[in-house]
Structure 1
Amino acid sequence: MPRVRALSGPKPRDAPEPSHPMPRHLRTLTALLRRAETVTLLAVLCVAGGLWAFAALAAEMLEGDLHVFDETLLMALRRAGDPARPIGGPHLEIVMRDITALGGITVLTLVTISAMVYLVLRRQRASALFLAVAVLGGQVLSRIAKAGFARPRPDLVPHGVDVTSASFPSGHSMMAAVTYLTLAVMLARQEPAWPIRAFFVVVAALLAISVGLSRVYLGVHWPSDVLAGWALGAAWALLVWLVARWMGRRGGIEPDRARPE
């Protein structure tokens, strides 16, 4: 009997058919969302790190474990055998007095008002109000911290400028970090180009660092005071940035104008 060849259809495929590629605008949106989540997570970690550093310094200070560290660095900025004279001579001392004024309440107030006027002129009134609240909040936090710890000022060397408040944390260092970094992140939100945004933050960080160094050089703060001021001030500024991002996405203030790179 002749064999009958069975008729069969096309052989089924084991592998699924290739899916259609994701449209370009959806890929861009997905990448931006992932990037935003990563940046937010890093910012939260930095805020936590700043608060932890401040708490660790405060604990060490209260236990009296920072004397050797503070005295060694403070005396390193003085001439050997003559603690009354800082290194660098009178000209550098004048420069340091000028730099330390950048962290004073008068200069910080003028700079903050100028930034607020800039935002208002750009029709960013909500951002201007938010900036004022953020800077004032940092000032209140600084005063509460000073009153809570009430650490005496250094007495090993003469003070290069007049001081009246407590020593820990450094108010000039903290408020320079709070004000300049907060101004930087708020102004950067209005700039679409990343190089300009980064420039704002770098300049703000350099100003805050310079103010802190000047406080130690002039003998009005222990080095740990300045480190604590930087840590708490930077944490506050980053927290302000996170809140600004959150409010911008929900219409509380003007949205961020970052340009996708």
Structure 2
Amino acid sequence: MRDERRTTYPVLAVAIVAIAAFVILAVVVRINGTVYLDEKILLFFRDPENLAVPIGPRWLEQTVVELTTLGGYPVLVTLVSAVVGFLLVSGQFGPAIFTVGAIVSGTIVSSMLKYVIERPRPEVVDHLVHTFTASFPSGHATMSAAVYLTLAALIIRLVDRFIVRLYVLCVAILLTFIVGMSRIYLGVHWPSDVLAGWSLGTAWASLSWLAVSGLREARRHEKAE
């Protein structure tokens, strides 16, 4: 079994930075300190003569609408269910429990924060897709980060080659970035919502990894004794 202690400190550092970023954003948002920059960024993605129309060709808008579903619950639940199912039938019960626990708990925390903070959706531009919950933090950004980074961590545990691990991590980060940017382009989230979602999802995936690593290390010590 691979010694994971050498990766603990970098992951811990990522978790601390992500948590700090989320807390700072939450405080600044509560005092409306991001409104000016949020509005500027939202307007950047719209036609100045018609704010209902996003920049770029028509096909780009449709492409972004489809890409944003990569962070929606139907796609994420389907993906996680398929992965967990594979882990269960292959007898890897520990990783299956880790995956379900990390993602379900992340979903609960994200939903609770939306309910507590209750930030309204942006009204500066027209929404290009329907929304049903509060704005902060972005659920799509949070859960795409939590899910894709958690799955990346799961795969990284199973491979030794650095280039493979780097590729998996980059793909997870890219998917998370695409989902978050799609929410801004579609006008359904303030940019600060997305930044907070990325921070929260990254923190949750990192903390989940640290929790599992700690348990594995404790079990190794028990067996050694």
Alignment TM-score, normalising by the size of structure 1: 0.80
What's the CA shift for 1:121? 3.6
CA distance in 1, matches of 2:13, 2:137: 22
Q: 2:53 aligns with which of 75, 85, 95?
A: 85
- Residue 213 of structure 1 aligns to a residue whose secondary structure is helix
What's the CA shift for 1:201? 1.3
Amino acid at match of 1:57: L
Q: 2:76 aligns with which of 104, 108, 128?
A: 108
What's the CA shift for 1:122? 3.3
Deviations along 1:88-114, one digit per CA (max 9) or x if unpaired, are 122111110111000000000011011
Q: 1:244 aligns with which of 186, 202, 212?
A: 212
CA distance in 2, matches of 1:162, 1:123: 40
Q: 1:74 aligns with which of 21, 42, 57?
A: 42
- Residue 137 of structure 2 aligns to a residue whose secondary structure is coil
The number of residues matched between the two structures is 219
What's the CA shift for 1:225? 0.2
Higher RCO (C-alpha under 8 Å, 6+ residues apart): 2
Deviations along 1:106-157, one digit per CA (max 9) or x if unpaired, are 0000110111122224321121012111110010011011001000001111
Amino acid at match of 1:99: L
Alignment TM-score, normalising by the size of structure 2: 0.93
**Which structure features the higher share of helix residues?**
2
Q: What residue is the counterpart of 1:160 in the other structure?
A: 128
CA root-mean-square deviation: 1.6
CA distance in 2, matches of 1:172, 1:137: 15
Is 1:189 paired with 2:157?
Answer: yes
CA distance in 1, matches of 2:219, 2:82: 24
What's the CA shift for 1:250? 3.4
Q: What residue is the counterpart of 1:36 in the other structure?
A: 5
CA distance in 2, matches of 1:115, 1:191: 16
Is 1:127 paired with 2:103?
Answer: no
5+ residue gaps, structure 2, are 221-225
Percent identity between the two aligned chains: 37
Deviation beyond 3 Å, 4+ runs, structure 1: none
Q: 2:24 aligns with which of 41, 56, 63?
A: 56
Deviations along 1:194-229, one digit per CA (max 9) or x if unpaired, are 222222211111001000000000000000000000
5+ residue gaps, structure 1, are 1-31, 253-261
Q: Bigger radius of gyration, 1 or 2?
A: 1
Q: What residue is the counterpart of 1:14 in the other structure?
A: none
What's the CA shift for 1:248? 2.5
CA distance in 1, matches of 2:111, 2:184: 19
